[in-house]
Amino acid sequence: MILGDRDLKYYLEKKYIEIKPMHPESVRENGVDLRIGGEIARFKKTDKVFDPSIDKSSDDFFTRERGSAFIIAPHEHVLMVTQEKIKLPHDVMAFVNLRSSFARLGLFVPPTIVDAGFEGELTIEIIGSEFPVKLPKGTRFLHLIFAKTLTPVEHPYSGKYQKQMGVTLPKMKKS
């Protein structure tokens, strides 16, 4: 079941779903808008091969930036963080979508979900358009659509990205 605006306002008021900071205008008809945070990580162009069986850190493949606005170059891939920290209960998950105005500019966010039980800021990949696009910090950019599961999940999210803050680069499992 997809949660509508009335459900979301109730869940937020009762702190069943937590979003901090929460802006009242962010609750939409069938979801909640999230804002661009103050940090991104740009994928480096390199011929160096990332081998997950050897490379446990991806730091050499990204450049982090902090700022009040970010220009996404044509076809560039970046990781962006949300301003908001979210906390989901064990029976609610969320689909992450790009707000349609940004999709109409040619920006793209690959299909992404937030698992039931997740807590933290969201790190999301953005793929650039045919032309540079400036993204100011604080702009409503993503739209989360929340779905209630029929029963609480047996194994709520407790993975390597739980409680992440700031742009979180890929974490590879240790052998």
* Catalytically active residues, by annotation: 125
How far is it, in rounded angstroms, from Cα 147 to Cα 149?
6
Task: Give strand pairing partners of 42.
Answer: 63, 78
Could you tell me which residues are beta bridge partners of residue 62? 43
Residue recorded with tokens 């802006």: 23
